[in-house]
Structure 1
């Protein structure tokens, strides 16, 4: 789910202050706008977590250790983690013995940021074009060129340039409006019945297509056209169609149903376009950018220039109904709209119930980075 612009209401981070800290490490290189501070704090400063949440969050993070063991930062810690019993006291002892706690703070000493949600939707569709299913879901186009900038500029780790060749010149790839109108030279993986389903599938970054025979086809992010993501919810606010506090998946759907003639205009406001690939169906969650199955309620998408993939975080926020939500979560995904010093997108699971939670999740929250003792903190990375 590498694109992962899952937060339909991609709004601005709010500000708050966190009192007291010790050693501070700052991130944010020349030419970037990010100033993240990792402020080392005592374990006792973390908000309390229930044993069940502790165990599930720890297991979600540990599930990625077979991949993390290749990372010198995590290799030793993961080796020890493999021996830890699934018992709350054992997990707490491991965490305190192996990891230090660093509160994430943003410019202006802010400690709170935006916590949103995403999910794996299920939409009706077909493997062939029908009278009802007229909206193609494209695989990766034949002419899409991807340049890994890190190979030339190591400071641009994780950044890629996308386009198409005209002779020897790399031109920007077609935007979403052009792709929708003219198509692309790419395999069609499925056909959906509603253009809004395709837009929200791209926002979520993965999903399932439910066929008429009841079978489901699982689709996952494969690539993107290189254009910046612009939230359609924000466009509706700018047009005066919705108030900022009204923006949710349900509200956007409702507006589209009430204004079918303006849906193409709404969709053109977002030039980004996501291409997919088929994945085997399974009861596991979809795979995120770390290529491990996501755990509902305990996997998050992050800005990898702030929080490296594979990290263990401590999250303190609320559910959409205001109920406190405190738990360890695993940074296992990324996304185009998940940008900022204190920013996370919580994966809620598959289907409509998860979608209802995700669509209303626009909460303030705090994050703490749990980092292996004695290992250097993450280095500055570029911010879009």
Structure 2
């Protein structure tokens, strides 16, 4: 989930001769094709798009790509370094097949194009089916918060952030959120990394997957994803919509936080509806994704690797929002598939990384709209070498 600043014009990338389809979007949508919680006015969904039965629809690459800024080039080098570390293998994506070698070729061709834009990459765009089989992919945002903490608990800072435990119950399971946060199921195991002033802050840190904590002495550490308890993820926003507590058009990180602030007596009830619980590890200075490379603000994305392999480069039609979180249109952007998340499942959702701190929080909090996503693959793919695992 995400938020836009109240006094800042949304940043726009530099484009170079992008001859693409019209950016006009249609507000109409059908609750039979998308989740009801995403069916709100001006959600960016193109309900008139062609319906298809396959995961990917092969399309010609537009004559121009959106030219990224310099930060993308640094992210691309990390991307290539990741691809160079993993063994070649084939990815079978329903009706589409690719490989690590193909993904390397895409990255190299885009790298050459950045150096000499007259050399157009020889690529094919494969459009993802989306949530509705019409190509509409919900694009949410995530960020890395900065959270004040203490090394030791006191009367205010008394809610622990935990490392992953080693002890499981007789059935081989870790405790649920309810048991951990409200029944002290992990107390006494020496797993505490730091203590915060709010279980709600902890909950949102779990949803984001990583964050920077700042101790009382000014020391900062990055807490990265350290595993989960294995319980199914349940969206708190969806729960509040279904209970009639927040209208689906108004759901955002801000509105959820405000609801929890206004209903402290119901915090345990609502937070516990999501039994999934995230553990942390004290990681490197820069946030890293599941591909174990530093994330690049506004260019990295979290995906479901079963439909978009880590190491892919995507062309995405991402939502442009005004200062109030209203959709103004879409813009095209290259994205690096470098992360994954427990809530990112299937072809209907990607999470777009916005950066560190409050400004990124503002950008991320209101993003919940639909766009379109294309997997970029070589026009002349490399021969398959290994069978997918």
TM-score by length of 1: 0.77
Residue in 2 aligned with 1:187? 191
Residue in 2 aligned with 1:374? 381
- Structure 1 CA distance for aligned equivalents of residues 54 and 190 of structure 2: 40
Residue in 2 aligned with 1:30? none
Residue in 1 aligned with 2:304? 303
Residue in 2 aligned with 1:138? 162
1:57 shift after superposition = 4.0
Q: 3-state SS of the aligned residue for 1:128?
A: coil
Residue in 1 aligned with 2:238? 234
- Structure 2 CA distance for aligned equivalents of residues 352 and 91 of structure 1: 35
Matched, 1:74 2:100: yes
Q: 3-state SS of the aligned residue for 1:126?
A: coil
Residue in 1 aligned with 2:47? 16
- Structure 1 CA distance for aligned equivalents of residues 111 and 387 of structure 2: 35
Residue in 2 aligned with 1:60? 75
Give 1:99-118 correspondences, 5 Å limit.
99-106=123-130, 109-118=133-142
Residue in 2 aligned with 1:28? none
- Structure 2 CA distance for aligned equivalents of residues 305 and 7 of structure 1: 25
RMSD: 3.2
User: How many residue pairs end up in the alignment?
Assistant: 332
1:303 shift after superposition = 1.2
Give 1:163-242 correspondences, 5 Å limit.
164=168, 166=170, 170-180=171-181, 181-184=183-186, 185-242=189-246
Residue in 2 aligned with 1:278? 282
Q: 3-state SS of the aligned residue for 2:239?
A: helix
Which of 345, 352, 358 pairs up with 1:346?
352
**Partners of 1:317 and 1:324 within 8 A in 2:** yes
Distance 1:370 1:92, change over 3 A: farther
Matched, 1:39 2:69: no
Unaligned segments of structure 1, at least 5 residues: 1-5, 25-34, 144-163
- Structure 1 CA distance for aligned equivalents of residues 342 and 313 of structure 2: 21
Deviation per residue, 1:114-147 (Å, 9 max, x gap): 010000011111111122210000101021xxxx
Unaligned segments of structure 2, at least 5 residues: 4-34, 40-44, 89-98, 323-327
Q: Which moved more, 1:365-374 or 1:320-329?
A: 320-329
Q: 3-state SS of the aligned residue for 1:229?
A: coil
Q: Which moved more, 1:8-17 or 1:208-217?
A: 8-17
Distance 1:66 1:88, change over 3 A: closer
- Structure 2 CA distance for aligned equivalents of residues 121 and 279 of structure 1: 15
Distance 1:254 1:66, change over 3 A: same
Residue in 1 aligned with 2:364? 358
Residue in 2 aligned with 1:126? 150
Distance 1:381 1:277, change over 3 A: same
